[in-house]
Chain A
Amino acid sequence: MSVTTHLAIGTRKGLWLAHDDETGRWSLDGPHWLMQEVPAVTWAVPAADATGPGATTVPRLLVGVRSEHWGPTVAATADLGGSWQEPDHGAIRFPEGTDSALERVWQLVADPQRPGRVWAGCEPHSLWRSDDGGSSFAINQALWEHPHKKDWFPGGGGACLHTILTDPSDDDRLLVALSTGGVYRSSDSGQSWQAASRGIRADFLPGAEPDHGQCVHKVARDAGDPLRLYAQNHGGVFRTDDGGDRWVSIDDGLPADFGFTVLAHPTTPGTAWVIPLVADVQRLPPDGRLRVWCTTDAGASWAPNESGLPDDYWGVVLRDAAAVTTDGDGGALLFLGTRNGWVYTSADGGGTFTEVARHLPDVLSVRAVRV
């Protein structure tokens, strides 16, 4: 049976879809949502055993879209962009009494354990859950009313909840990350939340090491141990082996400790990738060389990719502009998009990269699925 890889590319001025039918040649379709930014995309894969009328192998794509003029929304397509469905009243609306309005959808995650469930991370800092495939979402009250909320403030991009990790070993465990705010986890399906950022630096706060308030940029879960996580922080790369009780620095061997994204291999324990930038005050690849750095020993050592990414390059890869999925054979397919509008992929675990697309607007989000 043939397999196609679909890649959703959300940019500052629209969405593109790229498709590869394993020939190695990508076809590009777009723009969709022209002149609207697309900071969040997620694929929902049909159940493998679906049969009968309406059964399909086409994945459903949900997108978080924002018009500078007309505001944010969530939309979905079940036919790879041929048509879009957008609830008239808006899928995400802050309830009366919150005195808040949705500013941007930063993260959409189709829950891999529960078909029909979709998580959304939004600005202002908030977590939302849908049980109808993304047509309507309810706010997570426990996080919205968290006593730490007074200490969270907008990072450079906004007051965003940008990372949502479900736990394949325990349906009740959730982990989220906020900029700023840090890492929070729940062991009761989101009824309560505990800060889980100890050990992560907050260079922009005075005093002793904080319990919370860090500007964590992205978190990824290790393939082998659900309690092992990797974090790219606003200064520093960290790992925890206990689900966030304590984080330790793992940036020795990297050319810089700043960056926005971190990816973990979907099947190989101990393997993760980061894309370093010089520093907070110089958000550019070191020496103008865009490189993906890989660890295969959970951060004890790092090595850059061998080829395929440019030198003399002065752009960045944002937190959700990198993604990884399985290649169906135990390996990983990596994708990254730059603010200069180039999209690359690697089929050998980040050793070599090839081009998927060029000359797009600033890439904000990429996510791939193989069906």
Chain B
Amino acid sequence: MAVTVLLPGPLRADAGGQRALHVDAADAGTLGDLLDAVAAAHPALERRIRDETGQLRRFVNVFVNDDEVRGLQGVDTVLPAGATVHVLPSVAGG
């Protein structure tokens, strides 16, 4: 199934300048599976989103359609067919 990943401005350079990635993900795959696929093509992008333990970085928010995944099952959230995954920086910093 096709999943669209929308990227914020600071991460686009790590995806060849693209605003959106169209990833062919496995049916019933999880967000973690999707990020594995992203890592294969764009490793520098993936490590900005999650750390080497596989956890989302603290101040990165990921929405599946309109739902923030920490309120779902985190990286184990199953992606619905045709999902849009939106990566955004959270409110942080000084």
A contact residues vs B (CB 8 Å cutoff)? 35, 67-71, 86, 88-90, 93-94, 99-102
Contacts and interface: CB of A to CB of B under 8 A. Distances in A.
B10 A99 contact: no
A99 B54 CA distance: 10
Contacts of A94: 52-53
Interface string B7-31: 0001100000000000000000000
A121 to B, nearest CB: 18
Interface of B: 10-11, 43-44, 47-49, 51-53, 55, 57, 59-60, 89-90, 92-93
B59 A68 contact: yes
Nearest to A90: B47
Contact of B11 (A70, A86, A100): A70
A54 to B, nearest CB: 26
B53 A99 contact: yes
A71 B46 CA distance: 11
A89 B44 CA distance: 6
Given A69-B10, A69-B59, A71-B57, A93 B52 contact: yes
A90 B11 CA distance: 15
A101 B52 contact: yes
A102 B57 contact: no
* The 5 residue pairs across chains A and B that have the minimum distance between CB atoms: A101-B51, A70-B48, A69-B89, A88-B43, A68-B93
15 contacts: A35-B93, A67-B10, A68-B92, A68-B93, A69-B59, A69-B90, A69-B92, A70-B48, A70-B49, A71-B48, A90-B44, A90-B52, A93-B52, A100-B53, A101-B53
Choose among B43, B90, B93 the residue with the greatest number of A CB atoms under 10 Å from its CB: B93
Nearest to A361: B94
Nearest to B59: A69
A94 B53 CA distance: 8
A89 B92 CA distance: 25
Given A70-B60, A71-B48, 8 more contacts: A70-B48, A70-B49, A88-B43, A89-B44, A90-B52, A93-B52, A101-B51, A102-B52
A71 B55 CA distance: 12
A70 B60 CA distance: 7
Contacts of A71: 47-48, 51, 57
A89 B43 contact: yes
Contacts of B49: 70
Nearest to A35: B93
Contacts of A101: 51-53, 55
Contact of B10 (A70, A89, A100, A102): A70
A88 B51 contact: no
A69 B52 contact: no
B51 A102 contact: yes
A35 B93 CA distance: 9
A90 B72 CA distance: 29
Nearest to B53: A101
Nearest to B43: A88
B44 A86 contact: yes
B53 A69 contact: no
Contacts of B90: 69
A88 B89 CA distance: 20
Choose among A69, A86, A94 the residue with the greatest number of B CB atoms under 10 Å from its CB: A69
B47 A89 contact: yes
Contacts of B44: 86, 88-90
Contacts of A70: 10-11, 48-49, 57, 60, 89
Choose among A68, A70, A102 the residue with the greatest number of B CB atoms under 10 Å from its CB: A70
B90 to A, nearest CB: 7
Nearest to B42: A88
B50 to A, nearest CB: 9
Nearest to A68: B93
Contacts of A100: 53
Contacts of B53: 94, 99-101
B6 to A, nearest CB: 16
A310 B94 CA distance: 26
